[in-house]
Amino acid sequence: MTITVFGIPGPQGSKSRGRYGQLYESSKKVKPWREACKYAALEVIENEGLNNRRRIYGAAISGPVEVEISFSLPSPQSRKKIDRYPSRKPDIDKLLRSTFDGLSDIRVWEDDARVVRVLARKLYVGEMGALESPGAFIIVNSVWVNH
């Protein structure tokens, strides 16, 4: 399954405490990013006829999965041309967390605990291998287990 998500990738993980002790996401980008992931995945699921699998098996892809993902991030104005990769915030693990939660919400897989292998990278928009606007290019494959 190949999913292209457009939008500013939002890192999930850092929480802040409110005035009365309640926890909330520090990044305002998390919720819109998770929603973008859900809608992009839902479009792929519908186009590939995987809705029946979700109804019958509980997920579009069942069993262990591997994920390859390229995040395309906007280039900051302070970026030097020699900086080919975004080696600063947001952290790649926090980007994965928000993306995986969005894909779990729409039941691409049963749970993100089913992800057994990940290849992830951060790129600047327009660089080789990146999208032409902010977002992510995601490939999800089943991993067949032989007993």
The pLDDT profile of the chain, 147 residues, written as one tens digit per residue, is 999 999 999 887 766 666 676 666 556 778 899 999 999 999 999 888 887 777 767 778 888 999 999 999 988 776 666 666 666 778 899 999 999 999 999 899 988 899 999 999 999 898 888 899 999 999 999 887 654
pLDDT at 22: 67
Predicted pLDDT of residue 16: 62
Cα of first residue to Cα of last residue in the chain, in angstroms, is 25
pLDDT the model gives residue 25:
58
**φ and ψ at residue 116, rounded to 5 degrees:** -110, -15
The CATH superfamily label for domain 2-142 reads: Holliday junction resolvase RusA (3.30.1330.70)
Q: Compute φ and ψ for 117, nearest 5 degrees.
A: -150, 135
Cis peptide before 90 (omega within 30 of 0): yes
Q: Residue 115 corresponds to which tokens in the numbers above?
A: 């992800």
Closest CA to 64 of 117, 105, 106: 117
Whole-number pLDDT of residue 27? 64
* CA torsion through residues 61, 32, 135, 4, sign: positive
